[in-house]
Amino acid sequence: MEDIFDNKNNIYPSWIKTIALKLLKENNDRDWEKLDNILVEKRRDISNYLEKENEKELHLLSSVEEDILSVLYPDKEIYGLAIINTIEEVSKGKRKIGPNTLYPTLRRMESNEKGYISSRWGDERPEELVERGGARRRYYKLTDKGREALEAVWEYRDNLLGIGFNQISNLC
């Protein structure tokens, strides 16, 4: 059965060949024309699927960036120390981000190049700062681009977990 693919100049990926051969064995069918039609159809379906996926921009986020964007998702406005505390609390102390990691990462994500977050200075009055014993707070919020980046990463992970079995089996 394997020899049918030799005269096709290897235009089919090996996993498509495997699927086609499995289909033929299951049906006790040795109709090479039928096999070729199956392969052409599946190849077209898979190519269309991959083209649609490639059109989407894949945003590569570091784990720290993803954590920060997740804390801000979908529309929270939070100051830096609260981001640190939220990540530590949600992870039950297993994940800690210090200020020397957080603030440069926030600046990078706010830059024109990425534009994943926006920020503003808090409205605290000077007497409130004295009472609290701290500096003025800077509040961070997701932009539409940041929300899209985070959702794209989540979708990528979902697809990655399902592509091995679910996506291919759906195409068969």
In whole angstroms, give the CA distance from residue 43 to residue 149.
Answer: 29
DSSP string over 134-171: SPPPEEEEE-HHHHHHHHHHHHHHHHHHHIIIIIHHHH
The per-residue pLDDT for 2 is: 44
The pLDDT tens digits for 3-60 are 444 444 445 556 556 666 666 666 665 666 666 666 667 666 666 665 665 555 666 8
Identify whether the C-beta of residue 123 lies closer than 8 Å to the C-beta of residue 78.
no
The per-residue pLDDT for 70 is: 95
Q: Is the confidence at residue 102, as pLDDT, over 50?
A: yes
What is the pTM assigned to this prediction? 0.61
User: How high does pLDDT run on average in the chain?
Assistant: 78
CATH architecture of 63-160: Orthogonal Bundle (1.10)
What sign results for the dihedral spanned by CA atoms 162, 57, 41, 4? negative
What is the DSSP pairing of strand 77-79 with strand 138-142? antiparallel
* More confident call, 150 vs 167: 150
In order of 40, 56, 142, the CA distances from 21 in angstroms are 14, 32, 49
In whole angstroms, give the CA distance from residue 105 to residue 82.
Answer: 15
Q: What's the whole-number mean pLDDT along residues 146-162?
A: 83
